[in-house]
Structure 1
C-alpha cells in the first residue's frame, strides 16, 4: 500500500522555506540522477495531530504562515484514529524512482532488508508487533484457495504484491484475474488495518463504470487479505507517456483526459475522493493503442459528504493539491491532480518540480506552472485554459470533473456529461439564501457566457424537467437515485435530499436553476470576469438592487460589527450596493467552514 505515517517536526531543509516532514518510511529508497518524468514520488501518507497552543513544536507550515487557515479559524483536529505523538528519526527521502525503474534496480541490486515497522511510543522504546492486540479478522471469505488459482507475480509494493490468478469455479471459472495480496504481518497499526477495510469497502461500493477497475471478491486467511479484481494487461499510463517520448499530441491527450474526468466524476457523485490520482494508477486493459483505461488503487481513498473537509495529508507529492498541505480539502483535490496529469500529457514535464519533497510542497504552495517554454507556445489556447482552470490554487475556482467535460477544448470529443454532485451543493446553498442574495445570483446568471450555459443546460436536462419546463425536488431525487450506486442510495442520498427540503414546496425553471447552480468563484477564474461582473450588475440595478444598511449586509454575510468599516465601502451614497459591493457580496466573506472531519 506504500504508506507511511508520522508527525510533522519543525526542521528546515536547504529551501529554508518549508519544514522537512520527519517520518518513518518503509522500504529502501534508491537515489540516482533522474529526468523530470522518469521519476515519481512515493505515495506519502502523513496523518498529523495538530499541535495545541501549549505545544513546544513550531508551526509545520511555510515561513511566515502560523496556520494555513484564515485568522480566527482554528485548525481542525485529525481523525480520531490518528495515533498520538510519534517521534521519527529519519528525514523524508528525495523522490523515489518510478515503479519500472524501482523494479530494474531491485533486479540489479537485490531486494534490501526491510526495516521493522510499528508504532513508536513517546519514550522511544519499540513495541514488538506480536504484543499488540490488533484485530486482523476482516470477515471476508476464507476459501480463497478453493475458488482461485494463483499465477505469477506482476507487481509488488511494501505491504503486498499483485499476482495473476484464474477462477476455479462459478461465474469466474477460467477467467484471468488480478489478485492484490496484502500481508497481515505488515499490518502493524490500527490505521493500516482500517485502510484495508476501507479500500475493500470503497471497491465494493463503486461499481458499474467502464473506466473503474472491477472488483470481484475479497478473501482472507491467517496470513493475507486477497482482493480479487479484473486483470489489466496494457500497462500504466506513465509507461505509455514515456514510450511516446514524454508527451501526447493534443488529440491523443483529449482521449486520455476524457476517460479520467469521466471516472472521477462518477467517484465524486458516489461520495468518494480518490486522493492519489497519478499516471501510475491508470492501467490499460490491453496493449492496443485504443484500449480503455481503468482507475485503480483506492488504498488512500475515502468517503466524503458534500460539505465535509478532510485533513489527512495523503497522496503523492508531485500531484498533491495546495489545500491538502493546508489540511482542509474535499473533492477538488482530485481535480488538481488531474490538472497535473493534463499538464504532463501536453508538455512532457511536471508543473511543480524539486529534488526534495519539501521543495515540491513549496512549489505547489507558491509557484505557478510554466506555460511559456516549449512546447507550450504551440499548444492551443483552449488547452492551456483547460489546464489553468484545473491548476488554480484556490480550490473553489477549479472546474468540477463533470464541468471540465464541457470545456471548449474537449467539445470535439463530445463526451457524455454525467450528473454533477456540485449542483446539489450549490442548489442547496441557493435555497437557504436570503431573497437579496438570490436576486444577486439571478442577475449574475443572466451575464454568464455560452460556454458556462452548455454545462448548466446539460445538468438541467439530466434532471429531466417536467412538461412545464420546471424541476422540483422529485426531479433531483430521481436523477440522483438513477445515477447512484446501491451504497450511495443507502448512505448519502437521504442526507443530500433532506438539505434541499425547501424545494419540496416549489418548482424551479431553467433561469432560476442557472442562478442556483452557478459558482461565483469559478466565474472569477475566467479572463472575462470583469465584463461578466459589470454586465451582471446592470441586471441587478434593474431588478434587484435596493437600499441596504451596513447592519443588514453584515447579517447577510454572517459577520460581526468589526467588519462594518469594510462593508461601508460597498454601499453607495444612495444606500444601494455599488459595483464593488455587488461583486464582493457575491463572493462573500472567505472564512472557511469549521465542518472538518474530527
Structure 2
C-alpha cells in the first residue's frame, strides 16, 4: 500500500511481499495462447505470456508493459483497457516454475500470509503453522491503536483505485486548517489481514510514513485511522499520474536532460530515506507519482508497504520487491540500502532507452538474468548517448553492492553534476560506516589508505569535499564526534530512532578525544571496492603503492603483520601471509598492499583454501 494515484489501479497498487511484473507480449492468437498456458504451466520458459499469468490467474498486468519489451512496438500495441484488478503481490495461489534461483520465495510467501495453496502436484505447501483461506486470521489482534474518528474528519468521495489488499478513494477534509482539501485514502479491510506478519506490515508502513517527513519528493502523510472493520491511511493526493505513464506518453524513453531531471528527484528522496535508516525495497516507475499534470510537476515517492528500517551495519534477508527491479543480493538474501540503488539503475536504463535491462518471458527467467546477465549498451539508442550517461547507469547496475554508487554519490556523478550548479548533496550514511572501519584499522592499513587517498582525481575528491563540508568542520578545518552528531541531528527525522543510527556513533568513539582533518577524512571515507570497479583502479593502486614505498613501507616480520591484522596465534600465519611480504627485503609487496587496503579480516584469512 502507499500509492496515492487518482487513476484506476493497473497492477501497482497495494504492494505485497513479492511482485511479479509479468510482461505482455502481443499475440494474434492471444486467447488461444492463454488457454494453452493455463493447461500447461510447465511451458512458461518458452511460451509467451498472455493477458493473465497462468501461475497467478488473478493477476492482470498493465496493458502498457509491452512497451518495455525489446520485441514489442508501441505503435502496434492495442489500446489499453483499464482493469479492475491490481497486483496482489502477497497472495500467490500457485508455486514458481522450477528451477528458479529464487525458489525459496514460495516458503517466504507462505509464512508471511498463509495464502499459498498447493497445486495438484503437491507444490508450495505452507510451512510451519501457516494456514490458507479467507477465514484465517480470525484469532489475531487487529487493533492498531489508530484514531477512531475518520468519519468525523473526512468526507469520502469516489474510488480511484482498487487492489487485492484494499482500495484507494478521494476524500476531503471536513474541518480544520485543511478544510476542503482533497486527499487520498487507502482503505484496508481487516478481513484481508490473515496473518500476524500481514498486520505487522501495515503497522510498519504507517510507522515509516509517520516517521519520515520534510522532503519535497516524499508523499505527505496526514494520519492513520481505524474502525472495527477497516484501516484508513490518509495521504497527499497526487493527480499527475505515474512516472510509468509519462514514459509511455513520450514514446518509451526520455532525453538525457529530461531523464536527469527525474533521476535527481528520485536520488534525492532515496538518499534522504537511506540517511534516516529506511530502505524502500520496491522502487519502480509505478511507485513515483507526479503531483499534477503539469510537465514540471514534482515527483513523489510512494508505496512504503515493503519498506523497512535498517541499522547502518545490518543486512536484511527477506526477499521483497518487483521482479524486473530486484537486486541480485536480494535474491541472495543479504542486502541493505544498496538494493534501492540497483532499482534506480533499472529505472535510469528504462528512462534512457525505453527497454528493461533484464528481460525474460517468465519470472524465473527474470531472476536468472538479474543474477547472470549484463545489460546491453550496444543497441540503439545507447551508441548515440553520452559516455557519462552510460557510465552512470553501469555504476548503478554493478552486481557487487560494495562497488555500486550510493544514492548520494550518484548525485555528484559527472553526468548529473554537469546539469546544475545548484544541486545540494545530501549527507551519506555510508561515510560513517567507512569511518568506523578506518578507526578500527591497524596503523599499517591507515598508512596505506592515506597513500591511496593522495591518488584521487578531482571528481572523486568532489564527493568527499561535499560530505566533509556537511559535517561543518571547525575554523581550523577539522571535525570531531560533535560535528558528526550535529550533522545527523540537523537532518534527522523520527525514523533515525527506529533504525538506531545514533547508536552507531558509539563505533566512532575514538573521535571523542581527537579531531580529524580533511586529509585523514579522505583516507577514512575512501571506498576501496568502488575504486576497484573503475577502469583506472590499477593506476590508482600502483601510484598509491609508490607513495607507500617512499613514506610508509618498511621491513616487517610476518608475526608483526599478523599482529597488525589481529590474527590469533592459532592461525597458520606463514601459510596465509607469505605472499604479502617481499622475500628480498621483508617489506610489504604490492599484492600485500592491495589486500591490506581491502581490510582483509582474520576470518577471511583463516578460511583461505590451502
SS in 2 for 1:170: coil
Take 1:123 and 1:256, find their aligned partners in 2: how far apart are those partners? 45
**d(CA) in 2 for partners of 1:308, 1:476:** 20
Contact 1:233–1:285 (CA<8 Å) still a contact in 2? Answer: yes
The answer on whether the counterparts of 2:45 and 2:361 sit within 8 Å (CA) in structure 1 is no
Distance (whole Å) between structure 2 residues aligned to residue 387 and residue 315 of structure 1: 20
- Residue 567 (1) aligns with residue 577 (2): yes
Once the two structures are overlaid, the 10-residue window that deviates more, 391-400 or 485-494, is 485-494
What's the offset of the Cα at 1:538? Answer: 1.2
Partners of 1:392 and 1:260 lie apart in 2 by 19
SS of residue matched to 1:340: helix
Aligned residue for 1:526? 534
Match of 1:173 in 2: 179
Are positions 1:413 and 2:426 aligned together? no
1:278-297, CA deviations, whole angstroms, 9 ceiling, x for partnerless residues? 00000001101111000000
The separation in 1 between residues aligned to 2:68 and 2:306, in whole angstroms, is: 23
Pairing partner for 1:227 from 233, 249, 258: 233
Gaps of 5+ in 1: 17-21, 48-57, 68-76, 92-117, 593-598
1:318-354 deviation per Cα after TM superposition (whole angstroms, max 9, x unaligned):
0000000000000000000000000000111000000
Is the CA contact 2:18–2:320 (under 8 Å) kept in the aligned structure 1?
no
Report if the CA contact (8 A) 1:343-1:350 is conserved: yes
Q: Is the 8 A contact 2:137 2:195 kept in 1?
A: no
Q: Indicate the residue corresponding to 1:400 in structure 2.
A: 406
The match for 1:384 among 375, 380, 390 is 390
Distance of 1:279 and 1:28 partners within structure 2: 19
Partner residue of 1:509?
A: 517
Gaps of at least 5 residues in structure 2 are: 1-13, 20-40, 47-52, 73-85, 93-97, 605-610
Is 1:282–2:295 an aligned residue pair? no
When residues 385 and 363 of structure 1 are mapped into structure 2, their CA distance, relative to the original with a 3 A threshold, is same
Task: Indicate if the aligned counterparts of 1:182 and 1:226 stay in contact, CA closer than 8 A.
Answer: yes
* Structure 1 partner of 2:222: 216
Aligned to 1:137: 143
Which whole-Å CA distance do the structure 2 matches of 1:375 and 1:491 have between them? 42
Question: Contact 1:45 / 1:313 at 8 angstroms: preserved in 2?
Answer: no
Q: Give yes or no for the alignment of 1:194 onto 2:204.
A: no
Pairing partner for 1:300 from 306, 312, 315:
306
2:589 match: 578
Deviation at 1:215, TM superposition (A): 0.3
Are the equivalent residues in 2 in contact too, given 1:318–1:350 (CA < 8 A)? Answer: yes
Given that 1:211 and 1:263 are in contact with CA atoms closer than 8 Å, whether structure 2 keeps it comes out as yes
What residue number does 2:36 align with? none
3-state SS of paired residue (2:216):
coil
- Pick the aligned partner of 1:313 from 319, 335, 352: 319
Q: Matches of residues 122-521 of structure 1 in structure 2 within 5 Å?
A: 126=132, 129=135, 132-411=138-417, 412-414=419-421, 415-488=423-496, 492-521=500-529
Query: Aligned residue for 2:16?
Result: 3
Distance change (3 Å), C-alpha of 1:23 and 1:124: farther
The alpha-carbon deviation at position 564 of structure 1 amounts to: 4.7
1:428 is displaced (CA, Å) by 1.3
Equivalent pair of 2:44/2:362 in contact (CA under 8 Å): no
TM-score by length of structure 1 reads 0.82
Alignment correspondent of 1:52: none
The SS at the match of 2:177 is helix
TM-score (norm 2): 0.81
The alpha carbon displacement at 1:544 in A equals 1.8
- Residue aligning to 2:11: none
SS in 2 for 1:512: helix
Deviation readout 1:293-318 (Å, 9 max, x if unpaired): 00000000000001000000000000
Tell me the residue number matched to 1:35: 66
The residue that corresponds to 2:119 in the other structure is: 89
Number of aligned residue pairs: give it: 535
Contact 2:167/2:187 (<8 A) preserved: yes
**3-state DSSP class of the match of 1:162?**
strand
Q: Offset of 1:156 from its aligned partner?
A: 1.6
In the TM superposition, residue 568 of structure 1 has moved relative to its aligned partner by 1.8
User: Partners in 1 of 2:600 and 2:179 — Cα distance?
Assistant: 59
Looking at structure 2, the residues matched to 205 and 244 of structure 1 have their Cα atoms a distance apart, in angstroms, of: 35
Superposed CA deviations along residues 342-387 of structure 1, whole A, max 9, x for unmatched, are 0000111000000111000000000001000100000100010000
1: CA distance between counterparts of 2:237 and 2:213?
A: 16
1:510–1:268 Cα change, 3 Å: same
Task: Report the CA distance shift for 1:12/1:576 in structure 2 as closer, same or farther (over 3 A).
Answer: farther
* RMSD of aligned Cα (Å): 3.4
SS for the counterpart of 2:534 is coil
Query: Hey, what does 1:98 align to over in structure 2?
Result: none
